[in-house]
Amino acid sequence: MIELPEAVVIARQITETVGGKRIAAAVANASSHKFAWYTGDPAEYNDRLAGKVIGRGTGVGGNIEFEAGDMVLSVSAPIRYHLQGEKRPKKHQLLLEFADGTAISSSAQMWGGFFCFRAGEKGGLPDYDLAKTRPSPLTPAFDRVYFDTLFDVETPKLSAKAFLATEQRIPGLGNGVLQDILWTARIHPRQKMGELSEQAIQAMFTAVKRVLAEMTAQGGRDTERDLFGRPGGYQTVLSKNTVGQPCPACGTSICKEPYLGGSIYYCAGCQRL
């Protein structure tokens, strides 16, 4: 799975790098993966895509979506670009070979969707279809009025992590980008939403907008890689790269704990329960 900043960055790179290229051959499901999903029979992808020309790419939540003639490809896993003559990866769930000898490939990490459907049709999993209907935090439509519509009677019982990073309330906002958002808002990941003041809720909303915009503008996070395999320029404050290091705001060592099926990172000095 990828998250919103990287989806937007890679989609833009798809447009700039392979936009206008003609697909010579498409291979899907070359390496079987238990948690890889396709639209219909992946063996038919070559028939659907061969001869089609790549169009514009768009980040949709945690999906990289791009046109291929009258078809649409939506991928929720990292995509890599390969030069002419460059060795292709041994294992992949999607490989597009272009007429000029270059290619792109994608491989599932924990899981991934590799959907191919006709333009104008619904495609992918329900989470993807939901992402198409909701405003991106990178747009003006995601304002405080909209943010408040995400709250319901169950919200006070949820932790800050559960509210922001589960149930696709904000498509593309996952456990990875969550860490710096909550640090910026000075909210602990385990803090119950019902215990937050109005000032803290406003800080959370502001952090969602600001941090995601910064991550995207800087080419993604330094823990992730772009179309060319380069790490992003956004230096994460809380991530696997900074565990045990001093918090840049207060000097307290950054902690890591398991929580809600993943890891949380936090500063006990800045993010008090």
What does the alpha-carbon distance between residue 98 and residue 23 come to, in Å, rounded to a whole number?
A: 4
The DSSP letter of residue 157 is G
CATH 3.20.190.10 placement within the chain: 4-133
179-189 pLDDT, tens digit per residue, is 999 999 999 99
Between CA 263 and CA 226 the distance in angstroms is 23
CATH T-level topology, domain 144-267: Helicase, Ruva Protein; domain 3 (1.10.8)
Element (H, E) at 110: none
Q: Determine the Cα–Cα distance for residues 235 and 182; give it in Å rounded to an integer.
A: 15
**Average pLDDT along the chain:** 95
Maximum CA extent, the chain = 58
Tell me what percent of the chain is helix, strand and coil, each rounded to the nearest 5.
30, 25, 45
Question: How confident is the model over 125-153, as pLDDT tens digits?
Answer: 666 777 888 999 999 999 999 999 999 99
Tell me what pLDDT residue 126 has. Answer: 67
**Where in the chain is CATH 1.10.8.50?**
144-267
Which pair of tokens denotes residue 164?
A: 């922001």
How many other β-carbons are positioned within 10 Å of the β-carbon of residue 251? 10
pLDDT higher than 80, residue 113: yes
**Pairing outcome for strands 112-118 and 36-38:** parallel
Residue 43, phi then psi, degrees to nearest 5: -65, -20
The CATH superfamily holding the domain 4-133 is MutM-like, N-terminal (3.20.190.10)
Note the pTM of the prediction, 2 decimals.
0.94
